[in-house]
Amino acid sequence: MRLGQNVGHGSDVGRVRPLNEDYHRVWQFPVPGSNLTLLAVADGMGGAAAGEVASKLAMEVLDESFSRYVEELENGNPVIGIEKLTEKAIRLANRRVYAAAIGNQGRRGMGTTLTVVAVNGSKAFLGHVGDSRAYLVRGSKIYQLTKDHSWVEEQLERGLITEDEAERHEWRNLITRALGTRPQVAPDMVEIDVQQGDVFVISTDGLHGLVKPEEILSEVRRTNNRQSSVEFLISLANDRGGPDNITLVIAEVA
């Protein structure tokens, strides 16, 4: 994957919230024989701007972990696989956020979602905690790669509520797994074989809570300008009320 025209990203406070507590990053690290591309979004939660602290901390740990990995590679030292690296980075981010929360009275209970995709050659490694999402657009189809760690998703899986009820449920934003709210976290990990032309879409729930997957698919297929698609979809979420912060990354495998 090469960055540039193939990647679009953006974040907006929305129309209701006073602060933007989302963070996102698009990195590219040169590694022997290829590039390692890292795409991530985090949706912070907690009062008095604590959510912003949590999501920023998560991004800093990812940056630190992958930068150190690339440094070890360059020095010819033995390294773990990227899937293991991604998982360890998420677990470390959890410990950092948790420590920051219990060490400051005003930040008790703060946390963040974290969805990260690391693309290296023909493989992508996905790590996920919370209800942000990663999709893959391949050809004429869109696939949701992550499962929401939410109360509503659990009820859906058990057949206790319908899709329509889930969309309107008053507890649809209640997440059951987050980074930093407990001493340990178990991220979902997925390995994906990628193809040229695959498009990854990573969003916080301020976007996918208002814009349906088929609408995302339609926009991604309409134009190859990924930044234009990001701006259009964020604008669409705002047009529909923008009750939450809205963050979106769209990246094509070239």
In this structure, what CATH number is given to the domain that contains residue 214? 3.60.40.10
Is 21 part of any domain?
yes
Residue 1 lies in a domain: no
Most confident of 21-35, 87-101, 154-168: 87-101
pLDDT in tens, 184-220: 999 999 999 999 999 999 999 999 999 999 999 999 9
Number of domains in the chain: 1
Model confidence band, residue 2 (pLDDT cutoffs 50, 70, 90): low
Q: pTM to 2 decimals?
A: 0.92
pLDDT interval class at 177 (50, 70, 90): confident
State the pLDDT at residue 48. 53
Evaluate whether residue 226 is within a structural domain: yes
The Cα–Cα gap between 107 and 165 comes to 33
Whether 140 maps to a domain, the answer reads yes
Q: Which domain holds residue 122?
A: 7-252
Whether residue 2 is contained in a domain is answered as no
Residues 56-75 have pLDDT tens digits of: 999 999 999 999 999 999 99
